[in-house]
Amino acid sequence: MSEEKKSLNLNTFYGQKVGMTRLFDQNGHDVPVTVIKLIPNVITRVKTSEKDGYQAYQLGYYTKRESLLTKPVKGQLAKANIKENVTRFYEVKADEVDNSAVGTHLTYDGFADSYVDVSSVSKGKGFQGVMKRYHFSGGPASHGSHFHRRPGAIGNRATPARVFAQKKMPGHMGAKKVTTQNLRVIEVNPEEGYMLIKGSVPGHKNSFIKVSRSVKRR
């Protein structure tokens, strides 16, 4: 494989959320940023129109010890001659693909000074009531009132004699895929292995973050 094909620049990659910190701009303003760890994203397979019906790159990330890999994953990596023990995979569609790109790593230079859309699974908060889950105001807080944090009546008379779908009620909060759009990339440092994104992104510490170029803003 030639030296030029050892890296590839795509519009999507996966990183790992480290946490938040802050920077100060030239005017002394406090800028909150999220630190994203740049983990290896390696091309493990190339999908073509002739064989698969569409064109895309399959990429792997999140390396583990070889003893923790399943046999199907080991076989796939061995077939592609991939040395990294990646355990998670995703696909990025492309207008043109290169079959010789298998084994190459993604680069992050194209994300410098740009806007991105960030997706991840939000923090799980367990079973919550309507005041925390949907910001209901609640009832009187004084003594003697029997209506404090409950949702209130949910019925609808004899007609239609049922509770409407999507009624806001207590239940499981969080742990859902969330996408935040149009976040500005403050800094990309591949040498040190981190990216700084302005503002907060969904997900807990050490969770995997999908970073894509913004579809609404460039």
User: What's the pLDDT score for residue 1?
Assistant: 37
CATH class of 1-38+111-139+161-218: mainly beta
Residue pLDDT, tens place only, 46-55: 999 999 999 9
- Does the domain formed by 40-107 have CATH 3.30.70.100? no
Domain ranges of the chain: 1-38+111-139+161-218, 40-107
Q: What is the pTM of this model?
A: 0.83
User: What's the pLDDT score for residue 209?
Assistant: 96
Parallel/antiparallel/unpaired status of strands 7-8 and 105-106 = parallel
Please give the single-letter amino acid code of residue 75.
G
Q: Work out the number of other CB atoms within 10 angstroms of the CB of residue 211.
A: 23
Nearest Cα neighbor of 198 from 33, 39, 83 is 33
- State the SS3 of the chain: CCHHHHEECCCEEEEEEEEEEEEECCCCCEEEEEEEECCCCEEEEEECHHHHCCCEEEEEEEECCHHHCCHHHHHHHHHCCCCCCEEEEEEEECCCCCHHHCCCEECCHHHCCCEEEEEEECCCCEEECHHHHHCCCCCCCCCCCCCCCCCCCCCCCCCCCCCCCCCCCCEEECCCEEEEEEEEEEEEECCCCEEEEECCCCCCCCCEEEEEECCCCC
Residues of the chain with pLDDT under 50: 1-5
